[in-house]
Amino acid sequence: MAEARAPHVALLSSPGMGHLFPIAEFTKRLVLDHGFTATIITYTDFNSTTQLHSYFTTLPPSISSLSLPSVPLDDLPPDTRMEARLCVLAARSAPSVRALLLSLRSSANLVAYVTDIFGADTFRDARGLGVPTYMFFTSNYFMLSFMFHLPTLDATTSCEFRDLPEPLQLPGCVPLRGVDFLDPLEHRADAAYPWVVHMARRFRDCDGILVNSFLAMEPDAARALSEAEAGRPPVLPVGPIVRPGSGGSGSECVAWLDGQPRGSVLFVSFGSGGSITCEQTKELALGLESSGQRFLWVVRTPSDSVANAAFFGIETGAADPLDCLPEGFLSRTRSSGLVVPNWAPQMEVLAHGAVGGFLSHCGWNSTLESVVHGVPMIAWPLYAEQRMNAVMLVEGAKVALRPSTAGEKGLVGRDEICKVVKELMEGEGGKVVRDRVLELKKAAIETICEGGTSYSALAGVVKKWKYNVEA
């Protein structure tokens, strides 16, 4: 008798570590805990990262990876935003995705197709082929609720969102001012704007949405989206899904942290691609120094653009990241701080007992990583949906403090930095967010263990894919 073939899932991820890491971790769960085999489909364009290549070599053998053929993007104006580039890349790659799904359907026991948000243009094709089609949402309920509402907002308003007279009140969410909407929507005339609205419309074309968040983090928003609504696919929490650390030894950062007192170090990092200006780098350095707190700072080459090519792991070979630091800063802070250029093993750092706070750009993976390690944050959003995340973390989940900005360029001055850093590390406000993040850490662990909500939601989806039955 022929052996039954393992159920197979195809997953499409856009470039950028913030999407590839969680999609690959989700795939690992399917393969290691539920007996699936899987193919992760990536784009050839924008995927040159060393970190990603080494990470992919650690994936279990029953996960294959395939790259889509490269597509020409050289007709796009040079100033086209990253989000618009990704949308065009995804749209132009849709025929190749269809061909790949057809081929997997005949060669494997293909039971489901999963994409991140940039794959939304392939939902209809995949369902047309009879393949159950899901979105893995790499952000939170707040952002998902916003995306569901965006087509209506687009149709019923005509001003720039920053000029909306009232904050947006999404069901179960904290009020959101127009200035905090995700940044590709900042200007209606920008090429990225219609693409984001178009993607938001496509969200309704899949069979279900799996959110990398969890109930305790956003209880009211999650409840609102779990109510059935005609035309809206079911929404299920499967998070927090984060990368495991690699054990914590062998890096300069961990060796340095080993010598610091418990809970005393502020980790400062802006994700895989965030940059701040030279002027802001100087203010941050002087603020950290005058706070007198210990810090571990991942310094990037300053840039006027908040998201840079490093987001895709593309080494720019640009100026030395440390060039903008104030004269004498490194020697003056040698005993209390460590500055590392470009990259740190973030999971190992956050897991280290010496780390007591995280000044973060509020990327959703960084946020989840901080929460599962019980580390409170200073919210310093830069691009994508990070301002929305910051609002939710400060006003909703209450696990972060946020410094005020000044002037048109939104500079955060050294005194403000000093104040917020001291408050997080030693003040009453810091104690409140630390207690709260420890509660959420406990809930995060419980929810992904047997009997937890995220565990059960994933088990239900798995059952549906494997046996074609409702959980």
- What is the three-class DSSP state of 156? helix
Q: Are 74 and 65 in contact (CB under 8 A)?
A: no
Give the separation between CA 387 and CA 393, rounded to whole angstroms: 10
According to the binding rule CB under 6 A, does residue 366 interact with ligand UDP? yes
Cα→Cα distances 54→1, 44, 48, 51, Å: 40, 16, 11, 5
Residue number with the smallest Cβ distance to ligand UDP: 18
Contact residue for ligand UDP among 269, 291, 308, 447 (CB under 6 A): 269
According to the binding rule CB under 6 A, does residue 213 interact with ligand UDP? no
Shortest Å distance, C-beta 105 to ligand UDP: 31
Q: Which is nearer to ligand UDP, 190 or 369 (CB)?
A: 369
Q: How far is CA 462 from the centre of its chain?
A: 24
Give the torsion through C-alpha atoms of 17, 390, 189, 80, to 10 deg.
-20
Contact residue for ligand UDP among 120, 191, 241, 298 (CB under 6 A): 298
According to the binding rule CB under 6 A, does residue 272 interact with ligand UDP? yes
Shortest Å distance, C-beta 304 to ligand UDP: 18
According to the binding rule CB under 6 A, does residue 343 interact with ligand UDP? yes
Q: Residue 214's CB: how many other CB atoms inside 10 A?
A: 28
Residues 145-184 that bind ligand UDP (CB under 6 A): none
Phi first, then psi: what are they for 173, rounded to 5°?
Answer: -115, 160
Contacts with 62 (C-beta within 8 Å, 6 or more apart), sequence order: 6, 31, 36, 37, 38
Shortest Å distance, C-beta 400 to ligand UDP: 14
According to the binding rule CB under 6 A, does residue 344 interact with ligand UDP? yes
DSSP assignments along 427-459, one per residue: SHHHHHHHHHHHHHHHHHHHHHSTTSHHHHHHH
Shortest Å distance, C-beta 137 to ligand UDP: 12
From 94-102, 150-158, 179-187, 360-368, span contacting ligand UDP (CB under 6 A): 360-368
From 111-119, 254-262, 364-372, 454-462, span contacting ligand UDP (CB under 6 A): 364-372
Shortest Å distance, C-beta 374 to ligand UDP: 16
Shortest Å distance, C-beta 324 to ligand UDP: 18
Is residue 116 part of the annotated active site? The answer reads yes
Tokens representing residue 182 in the block: 């995700």
Q: Residue 27's CB: how many other CB atoms inside 10 A?
A: 27
Contact residue for ligand UDP among 15, 356, 357, 363 (CB under 6 A): 363
Residues 376-395 that bind ligand UDP (CB under 6 A): none
Q: Which is nearer to ligand UDP, 270 or 465 (CB)?
A: 270
Q: Which is nearer to ligand UDP, 13 or 260 (CB)?
A: 13
The partner residues of 339 in beta bridges, in order of sequence, read 297
From 16-24, 110-118, 215-223, 400-408, span contacting ligand UDP (CB under 6 A): 16-24
Residues 402-461 that bind ligand UDP (CB under 6 A): none
According to the binding rule CB under 6 A, does residue 203 interact with ligand UDP? no
Q: Which is nearer to ligand UDP, 16 or 119 (CB)?
A: 16
DSSP assignments along 105-151, one per residue: HHHSEEEEEEE-GGGGGGHHHHHHTT--EEEEESS-HHHHHHHHHHH
From 28-36, 68-76, 197-205, 340-348, span contacting ligand UDP (CB under 6 A): 340-348
From 90-98, 144-152, 223-231, 358-366, span contacting ligand UDP (CB under 6 A): 358-366
| Number of shown-chain residues binding ligand UDP (CB under 6 A) | 20
According to the binding rule CB under 6 A, does residue 271 interact with ligand UDP? yes
Give the separation between CA 213 and CA 352, rounded to whole angstroms: 23
Is residue 19 part of the annotated active site? The answer reads yes
Shortest Å distance, C-beta 385 to ligand UDP: 10
Phi first, then psi: what are they for 95, rounded to 5°?
Answer: -60, -35
Phi first, then psi: what are they for 194, rounded to 5°?
Answer: -60, -30
According to the binding rule CB under 6 A, does residue 365 interact with ligand UDP? yes
- Maximum distance among all alpha carbons in the chain? 75
Task: Determine whether 124 is exposed, middle or buried from the number of CB atoms within 10 Å of its CB (0-12, 13-18, 19+).
Answer: middle
Shortest Å distance, C-beta 241 to ligand UDP: 11
Shortest Å distance, C-beta 74 to ligand UDP: 25
According to DSSP, residue 383 is labeled S
According to DSSP, residue 302 is labeled -
Contacts with 65 (C-beta within 8 Å, 6 or more apart), sequence order: 39, 40, 41, 42, 56, 59
User: At 266, which helix (H) or strand (E)?
Assistant: strand 265-269
According to the binding rule CB under 6 A, does residue 346 interact with ligand UDP? yes
Q: Which of 8, 45, 116, 190 is an active site residue?
A: 116
Q: Which is nearer to ligand UDP, 172 or 271 (CB)?
A: 271
**Footprint on this chain of ligand UDP (rule: CB under 6 A):** 16-18, 21, 243, 269, 271-274, 298, 343-344, 346-347, 363-366, 369
Residues designated catalytic: 19, 116
